[in-house]
Chains A and B, each alone.
Chain A
Amino acid sequence: MKPITLTINGETIRATVPPRLHLADFLRDQCGLTGTHLGCEHGVCGACTIRLDGAIVRSCLVLAVQADDTIIETIEGVTDSGEARALQAAFAARNALQCGYCTPGMVITALDFLATAPDPCDRSAIRAHLSGNYCRCTGYEAIIDAIAMVGGQ
């Protein structure tokens, strides 16, 4: 067991974790942050996407011990801060989610796109940026529309 200290959604968290525990399980099972989802646990589907020190990462590929002394933001954090409000509203308005299981990861990835893209309305750039986030329900088009809507605002 290893002690770690990190900042999650603005709160300082101290915990003791087994070395093999991945960050997604830590967030879900020990911190109750069940908005981070697990779809594959090997870095392919994007459902577990969170922010670590400002960069988007797959929390299933990071060990909790590696997150010692980092700043973590999850869907709960970007919701509370209001950062994701416009995107969440656009997702709802455009029906860009059905089961909603991919959505937290999509929203975090889309925030990253909107913050960095030279042209935030470029649909093929949005499609390329989301190419590591699986959605099995929507067929993606509504998600692209929702992100482009916010990009155009």
Chain B
Amino acid sequence: MSFTDPDRPSRQIGRALPRSASRRLAQGRGRFASDITLPRMVHAAFVRSPHAHAELGAIALDAARAMPGIVGVFDAAAIDPWCTPWVGTLTHLAGLKSAPQYPLARGRVRFHGEPVAMVLATSRAEAEDAAEQITVDYQPLPPVVDALAALAPDAVPIHPELGDNLAFERRIEAGDIAAAMAMADEIITLDFDFARHTGVTLEPRAVVADWNEGEQRLTVHAGTQVPHMLQDIYALHFGLAAHQVRVLAPDVGGSFGIKIHIYPDEMAAIAASRALRRPVRFVADRLESFIGDIHARGHQVRAQIGVTRAGDITFFDVDDLTGIGPYSAYPRTSAVEANQVINLIGGPYAVANYRARARVVFQTKAMMSQYRAVGHPIATTVTEALVDAAARRIGVDPVTLRRRNLIADDAYPCQSASGMRFEALSHHGCLEKLHAMMGYDALRAEQAALRARGVRRGIGIASFIEITNPGAAFYGVGGAHISAQEGATIRLDAAGHVVLQAGVTEQGQGTETILAQIAAEALGLAPEQVLVRLGDTDSTPYGGGTWASRGAGVGGEAAWQAAHALRGQLLTLAASLLQADPSRLDLRNGQITDDDGTARMALADLARIAHFRPDTLPPGIVPELAATRHHVPRDYPFAFTNGVQGSLVEIDTETGFITLLRHWVVEDCGTIINPLLVDEQIRGGVVQGLGAALFEACRYDAEGQMTNATMADYLVPMAAEMPDIEIGHVCTPTAETALGAKGAGEAGTAAAAAAVLNAVNDALAPDAALLTALPLTPARVLAALGVIG
């Protein structure tokens, strides 16, 4: 089956269709977890630690209990009988250690914002009033803020029973570094500093938990990407069987990886529903989001590249250090980010010599774990800034150096020095397309002309690889109950339309729409004749949900296989009625047709007969009219994709302001199911990457207090500062599936910051200024220029 032929009958895959949910959402008819109200529902508010590190003394709850509207007050002692602790380790991350984490802090607090006590009241305002009446006796301990200081021999261990603050360490050594160093004519060393940032989902985290004592069932409406994972974890930690737990994911107001983790406040609120036997809603406010959501990145990297005068890159050598807060996040751990950083560095290049170390350390800050494009922006920025620095050092154009060193498009399958296996990538195809789209040579000429007039323009390029369609290698092999396979169930209704239920989920990517397109193409229907239902563990087939760019590639393939199986059933049934050969029949435009397209019978009639007049079917025929199929990638642990981004910036050397003039992306996600949705995924991802490049940072003071935990102080990209983004595609389908689709959700975020950093350093090259710390604030630009100290 080829999805490239635009004239094939029943073509739906590849069409730029708007999303079915858009009209409803644009009319304000979204139904988010934070909108859900249930009878007798109470609201949770938390007392959170004002200290980064302290011994917990007495917690006085009685004054809160006496406040109006209060139905429950909990500290650790009161909540622990309802919920067992969890530990964020997985066996395939050898040596990773962490400590048990509880819904409410026990004995010690270890980050500013850690939940200490919880109040349930008939309104959130009353719950907050009562929470203010709770007094907690804290004995402050020394904060451990800086990641490097956390490793010092005299550093206070955050979990004394773990011995030290090193959570995880991994080394890679490939090829012959000593020989590669000797071969290099130039060795360049750069020290990078990447700020912590966070997801800032516009809808904060939200859960509505409903324990039904009569039914002995727990229903949780959660703003989440991963309902089946939550079902498994809730069952485990609340002492229930999985079938006693139903998780529903309604509309989710942004997630980006933030809403795939287990959070203590959510666990406490759900446990309270069981304890109080009534529904509980917890919606984080914005302060709670900033100090309680998973933070991302936060790396210090020392990195080296070696290059010959002729322009051959001889090695990469990196040392990554990242602080993850006091616990490794559950259940995905906080080691995956750093692990991914060193897996990906140097990945686009044909360079066999590689040495890397990653260290992951505990500190008394908010927890750090997976967020969109896990590890990719760090790896891409380090790699691409090194490549540009090498190009500058030997005096060649950065595009020339990439042309010489990127893995050749005909060299696949192959693997990177870190052992990543590539099925088929298209670095050169993407680079040449980008070069043409940018009008690169003209931009260089314009840059030189403007430079003569004192205008500082810079051009940056960043090639990247992206991990998509993960199989069980990501989590399952380490013991996590996170499904790598996706299921899809499709059934014909009595009117000849279909209902498709799937384990992947929707947070605005367009999952529902692409699944409808896929099923519609297989069945010769219009996409609106496919009703897609997601996000309910009671009714959807088991699946891992939507993360790591797997919705289209894994969930889409399951839907394709299920729809194909149903197609086979329908054609067999039709053949028995029409006395035809099923292999000579087709489904087109809602009709059973001959293979030349001549209509024989409406699918609606077939459905009618099967449902209402089965007595007229030939003897022995029992129509099934439904199929379930599952898919999991098995040939490769991940389907790597690739691409390249370009950035054009202008810098005001008096104010340090960076203006993003233009941005380009060329990427290769294989078969494109819906180009409209793919392009907007990429644009949205680019802008999140631009946020990290220019604005976003969770700022902490020396005491471990987050000092910019409001939307006014934590800057995110806004409409006025963002450029238009031009997107191009190269298409290399994966041969592992019938669809050939790979992921695209993280491509934008992976390389946007790298392209901007390279553009800024390109602009400032005549000033011999070099930046290696993100975000690229005006103050940092001025400091690099020597204007301020």
Contact = CB atoms under 8 A, between A and B. Distances in A.
A95 B677 contact: yes
B28 A79 contact: yes
B511 to A, nearest CB: 11
Contacts of A131: 718-720
Interface string B702-732: 0000000011100011111010110000000
Given A40-B711, A136-B200, A139-B686, A88 B26 contact: yes
Interface of A: 18, 20-21, 28-29, 33-42, 44-45, 47, 74-76, 79, 84, 87-89, 91-95, 97-104, 107, 123-124, 126-128, 130-144
Identify the 6 closest CB pairs spanning chains A and B, nearest first: A35-B28, A100-B25, A98-B508, A101-B253, A139-B687, A75-B28
B19 interface: yes
A92 B253 contact: no
Nearest to B683: A139
Contact of B285 (A41, A88, A95, A135): A41
Contacts of A93: 18
Most buried by B among A28, A35, A100, A138: A100
Contact of B32 (A97, A101, A132): A101
A98 B506 CA distance: 10
B527 to A, nearest CB: 14
B203 to A, nearest CB: 5
B202 A99 contact: yes
A132 B716 CA distance: 11
A20 B128 CA distance: 13
B202 A37 contact: yes
Interface string B683-701: 1111110000000000000
Interface in B1-55: 18-19, 21-23, 25-32, 34-35, 37
B504 interface: no
A75 B125 CA distance: 25
A49 B533 CA distance: 31
A39 B28 contact: no
Contacts of A135: 202, 719
A98 B684 contact: yes
B256 A136 contact: yes
Contacts of A124: 720
Contact of A37 (B253, B256, B507, B719): B253
Nearest to B680: A95
Nearest to B199: A136
B251 interface: yes
A75 to B, nearest CB: 3
B336 interface: no
Nearest to B125: A20
Interface of B: 18-19, 21-23, 25-32, 34-35, 37, 125, 199-204, 251-256, 285-286, 507-510, 676-677, 680-681, 683-688, 710-712, 716-720, 722, 724-725, 748
A133 B256 CA distance: 19
Given A138-B680, A144-B724, 16 more contacts: A29-B37, A34-B32, A37-B253, A39-B204, A40-B710, A42-B710, A42-B712, A44-B710, A88-B26, A127-B719, A127-B722, A128-B720, A136-B201, A139-B688, A140-B687, A140-B718
Given A42-B712, A99-B251, A102-B202, A130 B28 contact: no
6 contacts: A40-B710, A88-B26, A98-B507, A98-B684, A132-B718, A139-B688
Contacts of A35: 27-30
A45 B200 CA distance: 11
Given A76-B28, A101-B253, A107-B26, A47 B202 contact: yes
Contacts of A45: 202, 711
Given A45-B711, A101-B254, A140 B22 contact: no
A139 B22 CA distance: 17
Contact of B711 (A28, A37, A134, A139): A134
Nearest to B685: A139
Contacts of B125: 18, 20-21
A99 B28 contact: no
Nearest to A128: B720
Given A45-B711, A100-B25, A133 B201 contact: no
B700 to A, nearest CB: 21
A146 to B, nearest CB: 10
Contacts of A140: 687, 717-719, 722
Contacts of B18: 92-95
Name the residue among A107, A123, A135 with the largest chain B CB count within 10 angstroms: A135
B28 A34 contact: yes
Given A76-B28, A97-B25, A139 B684 contact: yes
B509 A100 contact: no
Contacts of A134: 200, 202, 711, 716, 718
A92 B26 contact: yes
A103 B25 contact: yes
Contacts of B23: 88-89, 92
Contact of B508 (A21, A40, A137, A139): A137
A48 B508 CA distance: 19
A67 B429 CA distance: 59
Contacts of A42: 286, 710-712
Max chain B Cβ within 10 angstroms of own Cβ: one of A20, A94, A124, A136: A136
B683 A74 contact: no
Contacts of B29: 35
A125 B389 CA distance: 38
Contact of B30 (A91, A101, A138): A101
Contacts of B251: 99-101
Contacts of A21: 125
Nearest to A93: B18
Given A134-B718, A144-B719, A101 B203 contact: yes
B291 to A, nearest CB: 14
A28 B35 contact: yes
